[in-house]
Amino acid sequence: MTPAEKLHAELVEVLTTNGAGEGLSIDDHEKVPTEAYAQDIAAMGEDAAPSENVAAIRASLLADLAVGAEAIDNAQGPRHIVDGLLPVAGGNFAGSGGTGKTTLVLNEYLHVISGHALYGRDVIHQGTCVLVTAEDGPAYYRYILRRVLEDAAQFGNFPAGAIARAKQDIKILGWQRDRFGPIATVDSAGTLHRAQGFDTLLEVLAELDPPPVYVSLDPLSLFGPGERYLNDGDAFVASMVHRAAQKLQCFLQVVDHVSQNVARAGTVDQHAARGGTAKTDNARLARQLVRVKPDEAENLPDRLTPEDCEAGRVLRLHWTKSNYAPLPPAVWLLRKGFFLEPHRAATAEEQAERRREQITQLQATDIQNVIAHVAAFRARDERHSAREYSGMTILDAHGRAIGRDRIRRAIDLARLQGMLVLQPLPADECRGARKDFLDVRAAT
């Protein structure tokens, strides 16, 4: 048995005997890739030595030149697995270590397999979802999947049928880099090549029934040729992943990390992923997951609280690049155990209305504080003008001083509402323009 045949057999063994977890194995299936797919893989392998394929290059270019108006008239837009969110393409999904990226991927798998809307968008194509992990091994992530499914049933109201289907059609493969190698290699001349192991992985995935629709390689740093190759390596791997996604007709993403500076600064953009910018330049989709800090909780959706942020339960999923559809809005996520509950972000109109409500509430509180302050002076038979009160220190319920402008505004509003009134000063207390004092209405 050749090394490639041995790798193929090991990957198929993982798929057919381990399933999604203990007691969740699937039936054996044919292990021979279709002839057409094998030919596609062979053609893709030619990328490494274009100078030796002059005839194939010429034929491909001439075929494209021969395309006429009919082909343009019949051209179709890119296919999506989830409407406007996950296309048939290669993608990059980045975030700080420990944010919950793999847990989120498994949550998304449940939606795609069961057909439940994902972030409010329709699942167009259901099928097998595959996590290829090079980190803790498949056994650990089958445990994470078990917890995701348990909490999804409890907090997400997923029916038993959806949970059972997820156990059947979510596959977790272990990729041992020290044995299987990276998916791209570099020769002594510095030329990048597709690794045979990657082709073997694609052959195994192509045999799945139902076919794969969503595949993740996690993490990119353990699949690529090494970060020392920067943009050359990143562009090469991103191109490989995208072409593989098109061949398999699935969404194929690499799960990636962000740099230390990005993580500390909270930067969110399409180049936040660690390494060269080419990894997202050459991806068709880029996403980033961040944990929301308590000081960023100003515009939380209604059911999320600053306390949730303090406990690290609030995340935001950003689409930072989307070539095949308009850029989707960011999604708020509340972690409930291992289930990530999506929450819709407030619209601009809703945010404006919320700010108006907060201002109204703050003004009402200021009015009560100012009235209490005036009443305390009147209880001591002291009389002060509105101008004098605006220069005093008046504290709110938290012991913080209310600013001069807020005091003036509270006095004006209280007078308009008839809660504070101006009373004439006794004649012996009048001095120049000082002829009246501020009083509470109840005292009149």
* Per-residue tens of pLDDT for the chain, all 444 residues: 666 676 667 776 666 654 444 434 333 333 334 454 445 444 544 444 555 688 888 998 999 999 889 989 998 889 999 999 999 999 999 999 999 999 999 999 999 999 999 999 999 999 999 999 999 999 999 999 999 999 999 999 999 999 999 999 999 999 999 999 999 999 988 899 999 999 999 999 999 999 999 999 999 999 999 888 889 999 999 999 999 999 999 999 999 999 899 998 889 999 999 988 998 999 999 999 999 988 876 778 888 888 999 999 999 999 999 999 999 999 999 999 999 999 976 677 877 887 899 899 999 999 999 999 999 999 999 999 999 999 999 988 888 899 999 999 999 999 999 999 999 999 888 988 889 999 998 644
Q: What is the DSSP letter of 271?
A: T
Q: How far apart are the C-alpha atoms of 82 and 131, rounded to whole Å?
A: 18
Position 296 scores a pLDDT of 78
Of the chain, the end-to-end C-alpha distance in Å amounts to: 102
47 contact partners, CB below 8 Å, separation of at least 6 = 194
Q: How far apart are the C-alpha atoms of 204 and 180, rounded to whole Å?
A: 14
The residue ranges of every structural domain in the chain are 3-44+76-346, 350-443
DSSP tally for the chain: helices H, then strands E: 16, 15
Q: How far apart are the C-alpha atoms of 299 and 63, rounded to whole Å?
A: 53
Report helix, strand or coil for 330: coil
- Provide the residue count of the chain: 444
Torsion of CA 231, 234, 238, 244, to 10 degrees: 130
Domain 3-44+76-346: which topology? Rossmann fold (3.40.50)
Position 4 scores a pLDDT of 64
Nearest to 373 by CA among 331, 419, 405: 419
Q: How far apart are the C-alpha atoms of 438 and 298, rounded to whole Å?
A: 36
Report helix, strand or coil for 79: coil
**CB distance 103 to 289 below 8 Å:** no
Can you state the percent helix, strand and coil of the chain, rounding each to 5?
A: 45, 20, 35
> Which one is the CATH code of 350-443: 1.10.3480, 1.10.3470, 3.40.50, 1.10.10?
1.10.10
Output the CA–CA distances (angstroms, integers) from residue 159 to 112, 170, 246, 356, 417, in the order listed: 14, 16, 32, 41, 55
Position 1 scores a pLDDT of 67
Residue whose entry in the numeric block shows the structure tokens 């039936």: 27
Report helix, strand or coil for 267: coil
Q: How far apart are the C-alpha atoms of 251 and 245, rounded to whole Å?
A: 6
Q: Checking DSSP bridges between strand 212-218 and strand 251-257, what pairing results, if any?
A: parallel
Nearest to 341 by CA among 29, 184, 120: 120
Residue whose entry in the numeric block shows the structure tokens 């289930």: 339
Report helix, strand or coil for 228: helix
Q: Checking DSSP bridges between strand 436-440 and strand 420-424, what pairing results, if any?
A: antiparallel
Q: In what order do the strands lie in the sheet with 314-322?
A: 170-174, 128-133, 212-218, 251-257, 90-95, 285-291, 314-322, 331-336, 339-343
Q: Do domains 3-44+76-346 and 350-443 have the same CATH topology?
A: no
Position 219 scores a pLDDT of 95
Position 41 scores a pLDDT of 46
